[in-house]
A and B are shown apart, each in its own frame.
Chain A
């Protein structure tokens, strides 16, 4: 068996090294035809906002879900929620950029728990009435056959708000929307004096962001919203005097 000459082997390795140096470092392949998963995080946020705005217009959940999958988040719902929290915290929140996880038209007017219940009822009715297609959203590169966007006419809107048709899901009766589950005083020298923490949960024990909480004391009153400290959790309110 003939052995490969050392000089030829070295020449081959040197050539390989030079080729890789040129193709990976000096002149890498041009970036074209990328996918949303490769976008920078701030552009991903804009992409999510566009998905939310489109969903808000069409109500097509399957399409929104397929689009969210393109971004490649491990948990798209959590990513949407986190983005909504960031937008609220940074003051970028407005009617036109709201996320589907926060179906709240404005911070001051509609973040009350009673209004939240109304919002949920309206959305569940809309889901049951809009013709959500079960057709799978195709990969964009393949031949496309998008499901048609549901036409939302003024007549339909009136039906949603005034005379809702029967739905399969029973509508919860409006009542006291929140109840105090527990209250605990903590004596800890590491915590600041007068610290008040509130955790708001829904019946499924999920934390609720964006819930308005009014706090009154002798001679004063102020309002706060849960979820403005996402590092603690979406349903937390933490204030100190």
Chain B
């Protein structure tokens, strides 16, 4: 009888831990602030790449565009722009926007010497 009681206590404890984890991870996860751009959602990253591509259209300065893309961290500017281009193609961006990003990717490839 007494061991049966302990089983109930342990099961209740496990249920409590499960509830706590579910609440802390799913229902009300920790709110983060002061994040870095590499944590941005893929669509926001693609939009940032598009902004850089739009600015590049006017400046024609791949070095400046590379510095603007460097906020995403350790990846090379060319790969960041390429990922943005892939996202834009896969998610139905306007053809003119895709063309802008394509132009930026080509310029960055030529600028960095990467294929």
Residues of A bordering B, CB below 8 Å: 7-8, 11-24, 28-29, 31-36, 38-41, 43, 46-47, 49-51, 53-54, 56-58, 67, 70, 96, 140-141, 143-149
The reply to whether A18 and B39 form a contact with Cβ atoms under 8 Å apart is: no
Indicate whether A96 sits within 8 Å of B61 (C-beta atoms), given known contacts A16-B16, A16-B17, A146-B97.
Answer: yes
The reply to whether B71 and A16 form a contact with Cβ atoms under 8 Å apart is: no
Within the complex, what minimum Cβ distance (angstroms) separates A8 from chain B?
A: 5
Interface of B (DSSP majority class): helix
Chain B residues with CB under 8 Å of A33's CB are 39-42
Within the complex, what minimum Cβ distance (angstroms) separates B27 from chain A?
A: 10
Size bracket of the B interface: 35 or more
The one of B15, B18, B51 in contact with A50, judged by C-beta atoms closer than 8 angstroms, is B51
Q: Max chain A CB contacts within 10 Å: which of B16, B29, B93?
A: B16
Chain B residues with CB under 8 Å of A34's CB are 32, 35, 39-41
Indicate whether A19 sits within 8 Å of B21 (C-beta atoms), given known contacts A34-B32, A57-B58.
Answer: yes
The reply to whether B97 and A35 form a contact with Cβ atoms under 8 Å apart is: no
The reply to whether B13 and A24 form a contact with Cβ atoms under 8 Å apart is: no
The reply to whether B40 and A19 form a contact with Cβ atoms under 8 Å apart is: no
Q: Mind listing 25 A-B residue pairs with CB under 8 Å?
A: A13-B16, A15-B17, A15-B18, A15-B19, A16-B20, A17-B20, A20-B24, A23-B25, A33-B39, A34-B39, A38-B35, A39-B34, A39-B40, A40-B34, A58-B54, A67-B51, A140-B41, A140-B43, A141-B43, A143-B91, A144-B43, A145-B94, A146-B94, A146-B97, A148-B94
Indicate whether A23 sits within 8 Å of B43 (C-beta atoms), given known contacts A8-B12, A14-B16, A43-B36.
Answer: no
Q: Does B81 contact A (CB under 8 A)?
A: no
- Give the docked Cα–Cα distance between A47 and B35 (Å): 13
Chain A residues with CB under 8 Å of B54's CB are 53-54, 57-58, 149
The reply to whether B16 and A11 form a contact with Cβ atoms under 8 Å apart is: yes
The reply to whether B55 and A8 form a contact with Cβ atoms under 8 Å apart is: no
- Give the docked Cα–Cα distance between A70 and B47 (Å): 11
